[in-house]
Chains A and B, each alone.
Chain A
Amino acid sequence: MSEDALLSVRALSIRVRSGRDLKTVVDSLSFDMGAERVAVVGESGSGKSVTARALLGLLREPLEARAERLAFAGRDLNQLTPAEWSEVRGAGLALVLQDPRHALNPVLRVGHQLDESLRIHQRLPAAERRRRIAAMLDAVGLSAQRVADLYPHQLSGGMGQRVMLAMMLINDPKLLIADEPTSALDMEASDQVLELMSRLVAERRMGLLLISHDLRQVARHCDRVLVMHRGRIVDQSDASELANSCHPYTRALWACKPSAATYGTVLPVTPDLGR
């Protein structure tokens, strides 16, 4: 275990209770990451989204998480009180969710929502807050003049996700966790948002944990990839080495994407690895 890891996870297990049964959905997961861009890739049901929520302390009954060690920037997350969690979330660790139309508050203007997240975590004069909001919206490629007074339903999917990103980055967190941030967007907008996210994270020397089911897409935007299947990390590699992975599951995930070049062929399907 490296001492300077931004996030250190040891033997994280997540279980779901139904009646008297305990079903393991994430099984003894361990990884470290620094200020780098790491992707967690897997099919639906592989446990990648609950892992993200566990890292932010957001799991509720009937889900429960246990870890030998869960540390963020040297701080033990296992021991945090609810008040301390509120301090860490947003300011240290931030989360971008799937669909901005559900994640943003529908009855508050965009500018108001950004201002709120600043006021919760910092004490700043109003003029300074306005300046930061304008700068942040500018950084995600939006004009504060045009967007700040809009409501979420007036934004396109791509704009909504940029607003979400601005809201998450405005308190300068050290680690951004993004759970399928572009699955509600069309392919063009999706690549633009990932590109932007990846660039901002690199500029700010933050860590990015990107959760996705599209192996090829994340490979273009991340440094390292962890492949999850049925609650376990089955393969990991540098993004540039993914195409050469010899793990059968990774190979199938890599090759199952259709294109004009695969016309007339049978697409590989992921092998069932069993438990």
Chain B
Amino acid sequence: MNVIDVRALSVRLSANGVAQHVLKSLDLEVRAGEIFGLVGRSGCGKSTLLRVLAGVNRQWEGRLRLLDHTLTPGRRFSGRLRREVQMVFQDPYASLHPLHTVERTLREPLSVNGFEASRARVTQALDEVRLAPSLADRYPHELSGGQRQRVAIARALLLKPVLLLLDEPTSALDLSVQAEVLNLLNQVKVTHRMTLMLVSHDRDVIGHLCDRAAVMQSGRIERVLERQEM
């Protein structure tokens, strides 16, 4: 089964009154349970594609099936889809609320979705990304870069997503911390039976993590690499 099925997807953005064709009639299939990579230079449209799949960018044309939902342009995600698709951003400093403790950050998605939002559940979520329970009382600025990114991953995993989207999740991290986060991603893929889609400009990261990858150039998918071609 395909988790993502994209047909003739186009996105036009306009900046300063100049319309730009960012994604040009793009086709893509991502299978259940794989880690799929998107590589390309900056400006090739890979982050735009990810933002469409996350429901952040809703101005697109074409056909888009996500899990077993058919999406309509301009409409927000609704129902289960809002839980089942989660995203981790490049810079955890910018994606975590600076005035919320880790505990509050992790409780919010639970209570919003009607789950039990106990301290015990927060501790369990931290444990899953190998962070100490005591970190729950800290603010983002009191964490190291690697710890912050692990909090962001813990938050995304809380709702047990089926599809996890990751936008350059390790490019702001040191190599040794990157190794920890990459190990964690490989592990959650198995324990949660998730599909992961990873955007990166680093071919080594893609090569290490991905089962298949698409090379993007100026709004198009140039080719899809199978594992043995990486």
Interface residues of A (CB under 8 A from B): 43-45, 186-187, 213-215, 252-253, 256-263, 266-270
Instruction: Contacts A263-B227, A266-B186 given; indicate if A258 touches B144 (C-beta within 8 A).
Output: no
Are the CB atoms of B186 and A253 closer together than 8 Å? no
Contacts of B177 in A (CB 8 A): 43-44
**Cα A262 to Cα B207 with chains together (Å):** 8
B45 at the binding interface (Cβ < 8 Å): no
B161 at the binding interface (Cβ < 8 Å): no
Tell me whether chain B's interface is mostly helix, strand or loop, or mixed: helix
Contacts of A269 in B (CB 8 A): 176, 179-180, 183
Task: List 17 A-B pairs, Cβ < 8 Å.
Answer: A186-B42, A187-B203, A213-B174, A215-B175, A253-B175, A256-B179, A257-B179, A258-B179, A258-B182, A258-B208, A259-B204, A260-B203, A260-B208, A261-B207, A263-B209, A268-B179, A269-B176
* Total residue contacts A-B, CB cutoff 8 A: 65
B217 at the binding interface (Cβ < 8 Å): no
Q: Which residue of A lies closest to B204 (CB)?
A: A259
Given contacts A43-B174, A260-B204, A269-B176, 9 further A-B contacts (CB under 8 A): A43-B176, A43-B177, A187-B203, A253-B175, A256-B176, A257-B175, A258-B208, A260-B208, A262-B207
Are the CB atoms of B174 and A258 closer together than 8 Å? no
- A262: contacting residue among B41, B174, B178, B208, CB under 8 A: B208
Are the CB atoms of B175 and A213 closer together than 8 Å? yes
Are the CB atoms of A258 and B209 closer together than 8 Å? yes
B222 at the binding interface (Cβ < 8 Å): no
Looking at chain B, what size class is its interface with the partner chain? 20 to 34
Q: Produce 1/0 per residue, B201-224, CB < 8 A to A.
A: 111110111000000000000000
B132 at the binding interface (Cβ < 8 Å): no
Are the CB atoms of B144 and A44 closer together than 8 Å? yes
Are the CB atoms of A263 and B208 closer together than 8 Å? yes
Are the CB atoms of B205 and A258 closer together than 8 Å? yes
Q: Produce 1/0 per residue, B177-191, CB < 8 A to A.
A: 111101100100000
Contacts of B41 in A (CB 8 A): 186
Contacts of B205 in A (CB 8 A): 258
Query: Shortest CB–CB separation between residue B181 and chain A, in angstroms?
Result: 10
Q: Which residue of B lies closest to A44 (CB)?
A: B174
Q: Which residue of B lies closest to A41 (CB)?
A: B175
Q: Which residue of A lies closest to B35 (CB)?
A: A263
Q: Which residue of A lies closest to B145 (CB)?
A: A44
**Cα A252 to Cα B176 with chains together (Å):** 8
Query: Shortest CB–CB separation between residue B172 and chain A, in angstroms?
Result: 10
Contacts of B183 in A (CB 8 A): 266-267, 269
Query: Shortest CB–CB separation between residue B85 and chain A, in angstroms?
Result: 25
Query: Shortest CB–CB separation between residue B219 and chain A, in angstroms?
Result: 19
Are the CB atoms of B175 and A214 closer together than 8 Å? yes
Q: Which residue of B lies closest to A157 (CB)?
A: B42
Q: Which residue of B lies closest to A258 (CB)?
A: B208
Contacts of B13 in A (CB 8 A): none
- A270: contacting residue among B176, B208, B209, CB under 8 A: B176
Contacts of B174 in A (CB 8 A): 43-44, 213
B8 at the binding interface (Cβ < 8 Å): no
Q: Which residue of A lies closest to B173 (CB)?
A: A44
Q: Which residue of A lies closest to B180 (CB)?
A: A269
List B28-54 residues whose CB lies under 8 Å from chain A: 41-42
Are the CB atoms of A260 and B175 closer together than 8 Å? no
Q: Which residue of B lies closest to A264 (CB)?
A: B186
Q: Which residue of B lies closest to A188 (CB)?
A: B41
Contacts of B227 in A (CB 8 A): 263
B230 at the binding interface (Cβ < 8 Å): yes
Are the CB atoms of A263 and B175 closer together than 8 Å? no
Contacts of A43 in B (CB 8 A): 174, 176-177
**Cα A187 to Cα B202 with chains together (Å):** 8
Contacts of B230 in A (CB 8 A): 260, 263
Q: Which residue of A lies closest to B225 (CB)?
A: A260
